[in-house]
Amino acid sequence: MTASTLKLEAEAARRHTPAFAWPTLVFAIALLAGMVVVTWLGAERILPLWLAGVLNGILMFAIYTPLHDASHNAILPRRKGLMWVNSAVGMASAAPIFMFHHHHKKSHIQHHNLASTEDDPDQYSFVGFWSAFLVKIPITLLHYFNPVTLWRDCHRFRMPPGEIAITMTLYVVYVAVIAFVLAQGYWLEFIVLWLVPWFLGNLIMLTTFGWLPHQVDRAQGRYHDTRIALFPGGDILFLWQNLHLVHHMLPMVPFYNYRKLFTEIRPMIEAHGGRIEGLVPGSKPIG
């Protein structure tokens, strides 16, 4: 890796990093509005309850993407006076999936800094697929509801006191909303329209977003701590996270421009031995 290579990559990133990533904002608003509409249609039985649950699961899988981009200030990356928009989108996107923008931002940046090491807070890649899918990730999801775990993480990630206060206050608000819904007697609706979709949507998201891109045998370094997975339909199905390596290299680029960025810097990735594979780790790329 040379200074000229890094310069070329940075120039490519600038070309694909707009001053305002408005598609991400529109995507977040559409997903949030979709959840409200689908939940209402299911609760009123205008849609079959099970179908509304399936749709909400898909929407919950997708809503992490705006939260992720907001964590990198990738929605409005250059306007200091409008950085609050990133936080607002992050907080709104985090709420339906029982996550917290400020906490997630600290955790995720640490993941980038420590990817493929024992200190990486997202250690899904250190176990096999079935261990991750059936054990590791479900246990992680259960801890989302544990306020002690959340409190400890806030301090472990050295969050400022103000951000800790916001995070813990939101935890209380989330729990209060759930308690209110259950107190109104909507147990079945809660389970089918939120709890099961939340679990399955996040299980699939953490598998495709957390486990699959990081199957690199604990390799470390700019071109090696995650990978590219090329297969038909991968960009849409995974919301471009199959191109996760370019995100780790240049995280300010919004998700919908990963393909353009990858196409431009692919020769540099190949020259440095970056892993470009198929869906299954070690398989040949298709595309």
Write down the domain spans for the chain: 3-277
The backbone torsions φ and ψ at residue 51, rounded to the nearest 5 degrees and listed phi first, read -70, -40
As a dihedral over the C-alpha atoms of residue 237, residue 240, residue 242, residue 244, rounded to 10 degrees, the angle is -150
Mean pLDDT of 256-263: 97
Whether 199 contacts 143, CB under 8 Å: no
Count CA atoms within 13 Å of residue 29 on its CB side.
Answer: 6
pTM for the model: 0.94
Count, residues in the chain: 287
Mean pLDDT of 260-285: 94
pLDDT digits (tens, 9 = 90+) for 150-166: 999 999 999 999 999 99
pLDDT digits (tens, 9 = 90+) for 73-85: 999 998 888 999 9
CA atoms of 260 and 246, how far apart (whole Å):
10
Mean pLDDT of the chain: 94
**Weakest mean pLDDT among 35-39, 65-69, 118-122, 263-267:** 118-122
Per-position DSSP letters for the chain, written without gaps between them? --HHHHHHHHHHHHHT--S--HHHHHHHHHHHHHHHHHHHHHHTTSS-HHHHHHHHHHHHHHHHHHHHHHHTT-SS-S-GGGHHHHHHHHHHHHGGGT--HHHHHHHHHHHHHHTTSTT-S--GGGS-HHHIIIIIHHHHHHHTT-HHHHHHHHHHTT--HHHHHHHHHHHHHHHHHHHHHHHTT-HHHHIIIIIHHHHHHHHHHHIIIIIGGG-STT--STTTSS-EE--TTHHHHTTTGGGHHHHHHSTTS-GGGHHHHHHHHHHHHHHTT--EE-SSTTSPP--
Indicate the pLDDT class of residue 235, thresholds 50, 70 and 90. Answer: very high
pLDDT value, residue 2: 67
**Weakest mean pLDDT among 49-53, 74-78, 119-123, 155-159:** 119-123
Q: Distances from the Cα of 188 to the Cαs of 49, 110, 184, 191, 196, in angstroms?
A: 9, 38, 11, 5, 11
CA atoms of 101 and 284, how far apart (whole Å):
36
